Amino acid sequence: MARTPCNGGTCTCVFESDLGWMAIRWNEHQVSRLTFGHSSPRAAVQHLAGDEEPTSVSGPMKALIRRLQRFAAGKRDDDFLDVCLILAAMTPFQKAIIERCRKIPVGETLSYGQLADAAGYPGAARAVGCVMAKNRFPLIVPCHRVLASGGRIGGFSAPDGIRMKQRLLAPEQRLRRAR
């Protein structure tokens, strides 16, 4: 795909990783969407609900792409907490869940109910599941670390579903055992 300069506004970049093709969309220095696990660049862009041409990347977004590629390669030394996300269209509940999910450390997991409690919404496990299913920032907001009750894997809306969730959790569980 051709690369055109990003002249303000919304920009999109598609790149390859060990987890398949990823696409990231941003505005200024804030991420508005991320997707991964796709079989082709076109599939990644289409998942972002757009057909715009990918743009050339420089500065902070180029660094973020390298960080995401390291994460995809199994390096779990980055929590992405410094990445600015566009959350303006979310409800206060959704924002609270997303922000609390971002703080789940590598190697740790929470159940949907535990995440609801930790975010200040006890009893909202099902609603948390809906927020996680619509997570616009997977990997940056590590929804793969949120499990069903009893430690069951639960669902995962990325391509390859539960297998992808298990693939993401495997290196993190090894790190946890090594501690």
What are the E-state strand segments in 97-169? 110-111, 146-147
Beta strands in 28-177 (DSSP E): 30-38, 84-85, 110-111, 146-147
**Distance between CA atoms of residues 157 and 171, nearest Å:** 20
Cα gap 174→133, rounded to integer Å: 25
Beta bridge partners, 17, equal 20
- Sign of torsion, CA 122 127 133 138? negative
Tokens of 72: 């995809």
Active site residue: 6, 13, 101, 143, which one? 143
130 is catalytic: no
Residues annotated as part of the active site: 143
